[in-house]
């Protein structure tokens, strides 16, 4: 992208020429309606350099995030992320309005910016922003509830010890959320790829505790957390927790266990496949183990037994489940 195009866009923004901005953005937008990420990042970088004052940034961006043009709202949201921290301290009501608008935007690419827009408020006022996010976990809109999980995941990346327990408390109400949009971004993604990576021991302890609950949606999220790539680093803990969930008679739960076992079998076969072989001999756990073997495709039980005989001493037996 030429510097002249970027310069022209920022000049149009400075003079408040909305029609010109929308026309320029639509000319460069992807088929999805938003700009490519590298383009947006470069524009925001120049925006920060050209307009260092927070008050001026807010004035210039305000109309962008309310535009009917998705590319304008998307770019405006990224620009807003450069000042939502100070704005939260100065005018939390207005900051909340901007954050909620981004989190519940009709365009999915705008919604993806929500963690970047909300996180600065957590940095400058953790308790205040935390209360806002708590309200989001019970918001009527599934977009907003999902955003709460993703903001918590973004905050977890900071690995601040004092934040870990609070952030896990924050997402706990979402564990029983049956919205597909929420759950698809919670168990395997926010918890598995986020919290398990950043707060491993604390997250494993919470997962073990959550696995004791009877709610099948909670149990589904626990199982799916172990379908993430990060779970391969904690196979013994995963097997212990999944072993309890595998005994659940509800298909919704044991199929999630099978999905987790399939992924573990692909990533760490030398540790996971012996467990599956053992579970096949256990009436309480045979069903998810059989499905996992079938999903793996390349490894049937017979094939595994032959390979294990050729490589003795590689078995990791499953811990006993609860009586």
Is 262 inside a domain boundary? Answer: no
In a domain, 319, yes or no: no
Mean pLDDT, rounded, of the chain = 91
Domain boundary (225, 250, 278) is at: 225
Instruction: Please say if the pLDDT value at position 240 is more than 50.
Output: yes
Among candidate residues 177, 208, 225, the one where a domain is terminated: 225
Q: Which of 60-64, 188-192, 206-210 has the lowest mean pLDDT?
A: 60-64
User: Do 170 and 157 have their domain in common?
Assistant: yes
pLDDT digits (tens, 9 = 90+) for 103-144: 999 999 999 999 999 999 999 999 999 999 999 999 999 999
> Which residue, 177, 207, 225, sits at the end of a domain?
225
Q: Is residue 243 part of a domain?
A: no
3-state secondary structure 99-157: HHHHHCCCCHHHHCCHHHHHHHHHHHCHHHHHHHHHHHCCCCCHHHHHHHHHHHHHHHC
Q: Are residues 62 and 141 in the same domain?
A: no
Considering the domain architecture, whether residues 65 and 92 belong to the same structural domain is answered as: yes
DSSP state of 32: T
- What residues contact 229, with CB distance under 8 A and at least 6 apart? 192, 193, 263, 267
What domain count does the chain have?
2
- Single pTM value for the model: 0.87
Whether the per-residue pLDDT at 314 is higher than 70: the answer is no
Residue 89: band (very low, low, confident or very high) from pLDDT cuts 50, 70, 90: very high
d(CA 300, CA 175): 33
CATH of the domain at 172: 1.25.40.290
**Domain of 200?**
125-225
């Amino acid at each position: 992208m030429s510097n002249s195009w970027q310069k022209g866009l920022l000049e149009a923004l400075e003079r408040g020429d909305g029609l010109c901005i929308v026309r320029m953005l639509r000319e460069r937008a992807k088929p999805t309606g938003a700009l490519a990420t590298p383009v947006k990042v470069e524009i925001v970088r120049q925006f920060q350099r050209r307009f260092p004052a927070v008050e001026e940034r807010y004035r210039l961006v305000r109309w962008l995030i309310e535009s009917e043009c998705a590319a304008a709202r998307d770019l405006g949201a990224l620009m807003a992320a450069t000042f939502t921290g100070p704005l939260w301290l100065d005018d939390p009501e207005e900051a909340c309005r901007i954050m909620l608008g981004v989190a519940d935007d009709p365009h999915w690419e705008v919604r993806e910016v929500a963690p970047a827009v909300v996180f600065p408020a957590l940095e400058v006022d953790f308790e205040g922003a935390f209360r806002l996010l708590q309200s989001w976990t019970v918001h009527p809109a599934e977009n907003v509830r999902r955003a709460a999980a993703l903001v918590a995941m973004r905050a977890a990346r900071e690995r601040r010890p004092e934040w870990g327990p609070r952030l896990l408390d924050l997402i706990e109400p979402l564990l029983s959320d049956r919205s597909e949009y929420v759950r698809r971004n919670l168990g395997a993604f926010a918890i598995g790829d986020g919290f398990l990576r950043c707060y491993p021991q604390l997250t494993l302890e919470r997962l073990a505790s959550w696995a004791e609950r009877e709610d099948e949606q909670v149990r589904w999220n626990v199982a799916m957390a172990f379908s993430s790539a990060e779970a391969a680093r904690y196979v013994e803990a995963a097997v212990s927790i999944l072993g309890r969930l595998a005994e659940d008679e509800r298909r919704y739960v044991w199929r999630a266990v099978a999905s987790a076992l399939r992924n573990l079998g692909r990533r760490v076969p030398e540790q996971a496949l012996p467990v599956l072989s053992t579970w096949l001999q256990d009436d309480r756990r045979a069903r998810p183990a059989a499905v996992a073997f079938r999903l793996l495709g390349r490894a049937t039980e017979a094939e595994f037994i032959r390979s294990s005989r050729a490589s003795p001493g590689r078995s990791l037996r499953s811990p006993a489940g609860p009586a």
